Each structure stands twice: as structure tokens, then as C-alpha cells.
Amino acid sequence: MAIDNEMVRKIAFLSRLKIEDNKLEDAKDEFNKIFKWIEELNEIDTSNVSPMASANDVSLKLREDAVTDGNYKDEILKNAPSAEYDYFAVPKVVE
């Protein structure tokens, strides 16, 4: 699979990353190199192997339902670029 400039633009948009037009070529080449490297895996026949969801063959540990966390809004809001009246304040989002 080859990545073109259009695909780089789309990935950048979805990731909320800004890539200047003159950097598109570089990014595209890097993507393609990574893909080529990953494609080496295609040499192995996996037609009889089911997809693996996790490398850890452990079962999921469940937590008891108890309130053990929270109640530190100052710390939660500390790194917010903008907070007002204990809310995060972001540019107006209206659909």
C-alpha cells in the first residue's frame, strides 16, 4: 500500500497535526518507508491464525464498584489552557 500526499493530509487532519505543504513530501516518504518495513510481515502465511487482540495472554481483572477516586478539581483543571467557573473553557463549539 502506497501513501500519497492526499492521505498524509487526511491523517494529519484526523490527528489534529499541522503539516506545512512543503513538508508533505517528506512525511509521505517516511510513511511509505514504515509501511514497507511492516509489509515484511506479509511473508508469513497467517491464513490459519486468528487475529490477536493482545500480546498479554492474561484475563481482565475487574475492580469492585466503589468510589475511590476524584474530588480534586483544582488538580484536574490545573493544566487547562483556560478554565472558568470550574469548567474547562474551550472555543465555542456549536453544530
Partner 1 sequence: MENIIETEKAKWEIVVGLEIHCQIISKSKIFSGASTEFGDDPNVNVSFVDAGMPGMLPTLNKECVRQAVKTGLGLNAKINTYSEFSRKNYFYADMPTGYQITQFKYPIVGEGEVVIDLADGKSKKIGIERMHIEQDAGKSIHDLSPNKTYIDLNRAGVGLMEIVTKPDFRSPEEAGAFLRKLRSILRYLGTCDGNMDEGSMRCDVNVSVRPYGSDELRTRCEMKNVNSVKFVMQAIENEAKRQIEVYENNGNVIQETRQFDPSTGQTKVMRKKEFAHDYRYFPEPDLPALVLSEQYIEEIRRDLVELPDAKKQRFINTMGLTPYDAMVICENKDVADFFEKASHNHDAKKVANWMMSDFFAMLNKKKLSIDESPVSAENLGNLVELISKDVISGKIAKEVFEIMAETGDNPEKIVEEKGLKQVTDTKAIEDIIDRVIADNPDNVEAYKKGKTNLLGWFVGQTIKLSQGKANPSIVNQLIRKKLDN
Q: Work out how close the CB of 63 gets to partner 1 at its nearest, in angstroms, rounded to a whole number.
A: 4
Q: Work out how close the CB of 7 gets to partner 1 at its nearest, in angstroms, rounded to a whole number.
A: 12
95 binds partner 1 (CB under 8 A): yes
From 41, 49, 67, 81, residue interacting with partner 1 (rule: CB under 8 A): 67
73 binds partner 1 (CB under 8 A): yes
50 binds partner 1 (CB under 8 A): no
From 40, 45, 49, 91, residue interacting with partner 1 (rule: CB under 8 A): 91
38: left (phi over 0), alpha (psi -120 to 50) or beta: alpha
Say how far apart CA 76 and CA 62 lie, in whole Å: 25
Say how far apart CA 1 and CA 56 lie, in whole Å: 29
Q: How far is CA 25 from CA 35, 64, 83, in A?
A: 15, 51, 39
